[in-house]
Each structure stands twice: as structure tokens, then as C-alpha cells.
């Protein structure tokens, strides 16, 4: 067993001429605004407080609600298409292997190098079904953000900021129809319940697109199809001067067809093949240029798995309460909770094998069986995630020469993962080769953080930020019985990972239209076990 925990420093120097010009692809409001020689001010919360984008000494791409609608951004993959230095690929469908990448800092295994947040609350699991119709803006913050955002922000953070309930009754319904059976409908309604005291916001979204690929064997033409239904409710309560309480609840459900995947034979790309006699342990590596094939070799049966593809549902809630004194001191409490369940059923060979109707050999036990079938590769995975987070921070008035913030953070998550991968070799009575296991993982993260900012004069500002964190992880796997033989439960892994992640910034602002800054930061990503 080996524990891993990565940390690295980064130094960056940046210049922002104007908030709307820093990222012209998404931050400029269009030709009309340019013709009027006026740019709308963009407000962001990249440093856990509302600031003009022009005044933030960080590299931030801000996408407003108007731009989200105009560009047709429905999920994190669409966002990546319009954001310089940010990419996001979901290799095996929307709900697994999502790897957001900022500034090219990608990885294959382990936790992702960048993390998603909703109103500053850490978002576990996949973000590809997060509803964008109810967003006020999206902030892609580049560079290590561990000092203020915490775990899993090794390369940066993506913060989804939801709409605030409006003071006047307003609503909207929009629809889109496109190729490949695209059908999108979004609607929202917002307004006051008690004038000046209690306001509401509710929205619903249905997005659907047919598959881009087909399997001619079993007549499936929906490979890669996706469907999401989501509803969001939000209440804002201001019972007294200086008190602002917001509650958010979101429910989302996905129904996706299997992704367009298949197995390509080794003879197309490997230097050497395994042989049961001559080379029983040889490894097949790519040899030279990978040779493509036009079609995958598939069998002749029909896929009748109970629910092929992906099914996922998620409930997420957040409660934010801020208390501001007459002198400008602010105390903010943010509580987040999320629960997610998903199941994946895929015939990965795309041979159309009927796994539900095969007859098991009698010697096999309940969970894993032997079958009489041609070669196939079946995958049935399930996962249940639950997490709870709590953050409290106290900030000084923002109109002073010396400004500070101190805070504490707690995060707890439980992840139960069932893995059932089976490879069925061609033969008369053959034994499935693969993995059947149940893994439990518990995570607890505690941290304290703070920032100190000082205006040397009207042009120069220096900032120091830091976070001290401790993360405890416990993990155990249980292998299910195979061929009638019970397997011993796996070893329990325990690990404690501590980190200190500072960030130092020097900003020079010679005039209202120009801001120069340099910063040094250290980032960290969650540790884990590779054995």
C-alpha cells in the first residue's frame, strides 16, 4: 500500500486591461455595448466575497447568464468549448471519469486536479448534469485555489453561482429543437412573497438529445443519447437589517443510453500478444502508430439488459446565512448537503449479448456465475455518495486599508461503490474473469484558513492567504464469492494527509483601466491509496 498526496507551487504574472476585455470570447457584451463605449461591470466571488472582476488579482473567466443562453451552454462540456485554458472530457459517459483540466494540468487516475462548486459549496461526483438555466454566472478560476476553496483545487476551481430571487415577479420559458432529436425546455418563475423580506425562485429543465451512433447488430440507434430532468427551488429571507438567509434545493435525474464504446482487438495495435504457453505473462503495449478499424467485431444476439446505460439521481441542498454589523463586519455560515445514486449497465463489447437470459452453471454462487456464451464484456457498476460540509468565516469591513478574513471548514463524505466487471471467454463452459467487489470509503476534512490584504498606497496592494488542512480517509473493499469460494474481506486502509497551502499576491493598479499582479501559490489534491 502506498499513500499519495501531491502539492506544487505556482508563480504567475498577469495583466488585466479591463474586466470585459480580459476574456473577450465570453466576457464582452457584444457589438452594441462596444459601440456605446460602455462595458457592463462583472461581479465575481472568486475570493469568497463580491468584487469587480477588474479588481480581482486572479485569472478568472466569468460567463454571465446572458452568455450562457446565447452560447447554448448546457453543461460543463459546453463551458469548456468557450473557456480558454479549460477542458472537460467524459470518456465513458456523463457520470464517470469526468476530468476537468485547467491550464493543461490533467491526470488519469486519482482525484481530479480541479473541482466544481455551487455557490462556493464543494460539488462531489460529476458536474455534467448540473442545471445551467438557473445560473447567474459561471466563474472559472485558474491556478491553485486551495487557500480559500480547499481540497481538490490543485489547478483551479469552477464556481457555479445561482440566480438570486428577484424583487419583482418575473418568469421565462424557452425551448430549443435541433438535430439528433434534441429537445430542450427551461422555465423559471421568481418574485416576492413578502415585499422586502421573503423572495422565491423556482426553475425546471428538461434536456434531451438522441444518440450520434448506432449498433447495426441489435438495431440500437441511441448510443450516446442523454436526458436530464432537473428542478431547483430557492428562498431568500431578510428578517432584519444586516441578516440575509438563503436556502437552495436541487433535484436532478439522468437517463442516458450506453456510450459508444467497444473493444478493439490487440492484433490491431500491440507489439506482442499473450499466449497461454509461450508468453503467458507478456504485456501488450502499443507498437508504433495505432491502426484504426472501421467496425468492431460483434456477435449476433440482442442486448436485453434490464436498464442499459446510466441512471442517476441527485439531491443537493445549501443553506447560507450572513450577518453584517452596522460597522461592516460580516459573519457567514454555509452548510451544504448532497446525495447521489447512480447505476451503469453496459455491454462493453457491443456484441448485443443477452446477459439477463443466460443460464448459469450450477456450481456458481449467487453473485458471480459461470456461463455458456461467446466472448463478451459486461459492466454493471453502482455508486452511492453522501456528503456534508460546513464553513464559517468572519470578515472585516471592505472599505478599510487593512482587510482580513478568518474561517473554519468541515467536510465529511461517504462513498459506497459496487463494481461488477465480467469478461466471458469463448468456450463451452467458461468462467467469468473480472472484478466483483464492494468498496466503502469515508472522508473527513477539517481546515482553518485566512487572508490578510493591505493597501500600501492607492496603487499597490499586497495580499497573504493560507489554509491549514487535515484529511482522514478510511477505505475497505470486499470481494464477492467467485466459483463457489468465499473471498476474505480486503485490508482496511487508513490515511491522514495534512497540508499547508499559502498564496501571496502583489498587485499594481496605475489607473482605473489597468491592473497588474503577480502571485505565488501552492495547491493540493486529496490523497489516496494505490494498493
| Euclidean distance between CA atoms 52 and 324, whole angstroms | 20
Label residue 480 by pLDDT band (50, 70, 90). low
- Can you give the C-alpha Rg of the chain in angstroms? 26
In this structure, what DSSP letter does residue 54 have? G
pLDDT at 100 over 70: yes
Mean pLDDT of all residues in 83-94: 79
Give the range among 25-29, 307-311, 418-422, 450-454 with minimum mean pLDDT. Answer: 25-29
Give the range among 208-222, 307-321, 407-421 with minimum mean pLDDT. Answer: 208-222
At 393-402, the pLDDT tens digits run: 999 999 999 9
- Higher pLDDT among residues 317 and 127, named by residue: 317
Give the range among 20-34, 85-99, 289-303, 334-348 with minimum mean pLDDT. Answer: 20-34
Give the range among 115-124, 239-248, 520-529 with minimum mean pLDDT. Answer: 520-529
* Percentage of the chain modeled with pLDDT above 90: 41
pLDDT of residue 35: 43
pLDDT of residue 277: 56
Residue 335 CA from chain centroid, whole number = 19
* Percentage of the chain modeled with pLDDT above 70: 69
pLDDT of residue 113: 84
Label residue 306 by pLDDT band (50, 70, 90). low
- Bridge partners, 446 (sequence order): 410, 470
pLDDT of residue 247: 98
Cell readout for 198 is: 421573503
pLDDT at 523 over 80: yes
pLDDT at 354 over 60: no
* 7-16, 218-227, 332-341, 360-369, range with greatest mean pLDDT: 332-341
At 141-178, the pLDDT tens digits run: 999 998 899 888 888 999 999 999 999 999 999 998 98
What burial letters (b/e) apply to 202-219, b meaning 16+ CB within 10 Å? bbbbebbbbbebebebbe
Domain that holds residue 172: 3-529
pLDDT of residue 61: 93
pLDDT of residue 91: 65
- Count of H-run helices and E-run strands, the chain: 5, 27
pLDDT at 86 over 60: yes
Cell readout for 23 is: 476574456
**Regarding beta strands 182-194 and 243-256, do their DSSP bridges make them parallel or antiparallel, or are they unpaired?**
unpaired
- Higher pLDDT among residues 424 and 152, named by residue: 152
Q: Phi/psi zone of residue 305: left (φ > 0), alpha (ψ -120 to 50 degrees), beta? A: beta
Mean pLDDT of all residues in 257-270: 64
Domain count, the chain: 1
Mean pLDDT of all residues in 446-474: 96
pLDDT at 139 over 50: yes
pLDDT of residue 371: 40
Contact 16, 142 (CB under 8 A): no
pLDDT at 5 over 90: no
Give the range among 214-223, 335-344, 508-517 with minimum mean pLDDT. Answer: 214-223
Label residue 491 by pLDDT band (50, 70, 90). confident
- Three-class secondary structure of residue 147 per DSSP: helix
Sign of CA dihedral 372, 373, 378, 384: negative
The mean pLDDT value of the chain amounts to 78
Concatenated DSSP letters for 253-316?
EEEEPPPS--PPPGGGTBSS--BTTTBTT----B-SSPPP-SS----SPPP--SS-EEEEEEEE
Predicted TM-score of the model (pTM): 0.80
pLDDT of residue 440: 85
Query: CA-based angle 77:80:85, to the nearest 5?
Result: 150
Label residue 97 by pLDDT band (50, 70, 90). low
Sign of CA dihedral 366, 369, 372, 377: positive
At 284-295, the pLDDT tens digits run: 555 666 566 555
Residue 93's closest CA among 126, 130, 68?
Answer: 126
Give the range among 325-339, 370-384, 467-481 with minimum mean pLDDT. Answer: 370-384
- Higher pLDDT among residues 487 and 416, named by residue: 416
pLDDT at 124 over 90: no
CATH code, domain carrying 495: 2.40.170.20
pLDDT of residue 136: 92
What's the number of CA atoms in the CB half-sphere (13 Å) around residue 204? 4
pLDDT of residue 4: 47
Amino acid at each position: 500500500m502506498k499513500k499519495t498526496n501531491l502539492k506544487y507551487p505556482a508563480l504567475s504574472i498577469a495583466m488585466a486591461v479591463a474586466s470585459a476585455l480580459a476574456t473577450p470570447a465570453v466576457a464582452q457584451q457584444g457589438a452594441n455595448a462596444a459601440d456605446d463605449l460602455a462595458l457592463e461591470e462583472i461581479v465575481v466571488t472568486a475570493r469568497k466575497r463580491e468584487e469587480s472582476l477588474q479588481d480581482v488579482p486572479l485569472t478568472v473567466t466569468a460567463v454571465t447568464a446572458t452568455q450562457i443562453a446565447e452560447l447554448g451552454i448546457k453543461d460543463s462540456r459546453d463551458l469548456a468549448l468557450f473557456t480558454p485554458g479549460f477542458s472537460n472530457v467524459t470518456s465513458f459517459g456523463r457520470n464517470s471519469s469526468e476530468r476537468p483540466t485547467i491550464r493543461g494540468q490533467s491526470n488519469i487516475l486519482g482525484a481530479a486536479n480541479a473541482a466544481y462548486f455551487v455557490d462556493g459549496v464543494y460539488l462531489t461526483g460529476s458536474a455534467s448534469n448540473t442545471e445551467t438555466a438557473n445560473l447567474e454566472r459561471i466563474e472559472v478560476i485558474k491556478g491553485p485555489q486551495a487557500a480559500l476553496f480547499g481540497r481538490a483545487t490543485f489547478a483551479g476551481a469552477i464556481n457555479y453561482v445561482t440566480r438570486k430571487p428577484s424583487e419583482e415577479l418575473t418568469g421565462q420559458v424557452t425551448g430549443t429543437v435541433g438535430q439528433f432529436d434534441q429537445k430542450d425546455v427551461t422555465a423559471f418563475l421568481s418574485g416576492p412573497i413578502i415585499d422586502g423580506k421573503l423572495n422565491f425562485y423556482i426553475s425546471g429543465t428538461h434536456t434531451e438529445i438522441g444518440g450520434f451512433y448506432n449498433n447495426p447488430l441489435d438495431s440500437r440507434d441511441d448510443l450516446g443519447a442523454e436526458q436530464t430532468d432537473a428542478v431547483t427551488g430557492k428562498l431568500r429571507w431578510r428578517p432584519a437589517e444586516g441578516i440575509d438567509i438563503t436556502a437552495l434545493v436541487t433535484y436532478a435525474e439522468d437517463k442516458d443510453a450506453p456510450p459508444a464504446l467497444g473493444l478493439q482487438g490487440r492484433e490491431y495495435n500491440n507489439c506482442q500478444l499473450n499466449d497461454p504457453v509461450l508468453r503467458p505473462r507478456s504485456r501488450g503495449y502499443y507498437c508504433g502508430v495505432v491502426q484504426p478499424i472501421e467496425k468492431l467485431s460483434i456477435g449476433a444476439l440482442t442486448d436485453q439488459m434490464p436498464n442499459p446505460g446510466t441512471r442517476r439521481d441527485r439531491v443537493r441542498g445549501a443553506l447560507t446565512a450572513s450577518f453584517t454589523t452596522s460597522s461592516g463586519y460580516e459573519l457567514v455560515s454555509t452548510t451544504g448537503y448532497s446525495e447521489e445514486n447512480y447505476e451503469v449497465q453496459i455491454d462493453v463489447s457491443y456484441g448485443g449479448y443477452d446477459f439477463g437470459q443466460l443460464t448459469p452453471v450450477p456450481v456458481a454462487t449467487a453473485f458471480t456465475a459461470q456461463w455458456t456464451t461467446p466472448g463478451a464484456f459486461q459492466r454493471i457498476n453502482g455508486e452511492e455518495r453522501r456528503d456534508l460540509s460546513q464553513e464559517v468565516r468572519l470578515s472585516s469591513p471592505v472599505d478599510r486599508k487593512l482587510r482580513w478574513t478568518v474561517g473554519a471548514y468541515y467536510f465529511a463524505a461517504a462513498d459506497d461503490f459496487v463494481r461488477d466487471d465480467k469478461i466471458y471467454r469463448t468456450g463451452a463452459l467458461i468462467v467469468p474473469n473480472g472484478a466483483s467487489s464492494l468498496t466503502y470509503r469515508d472522508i473527513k476534512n477539517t481546515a482553518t484558513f485566512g487572508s490578510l490584504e493591505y493597501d500600501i498606497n492607492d496603487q499597490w496592494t499586497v495580499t497573504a492567504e493560507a489554509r491549514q488542512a487535515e484529511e482522514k480517509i478510511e477505505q475497505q473493499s470486499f470481494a464477492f464469492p467467485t466459483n463457489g469460494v468465499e473471498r476474505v474481506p480486503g485490508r482496511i486502509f487508513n490515511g491522514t494527509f495534512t497540508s499547508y497551502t499559502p498564496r501571496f499576491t502583489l498587485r499594481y493598479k496605475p489607473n482605473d483601466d489597468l491592473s497588474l499582479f503577480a502571485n505565488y501559490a501552492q495547491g493540493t489534491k486529496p490523497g489516496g491509496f494505490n494498493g
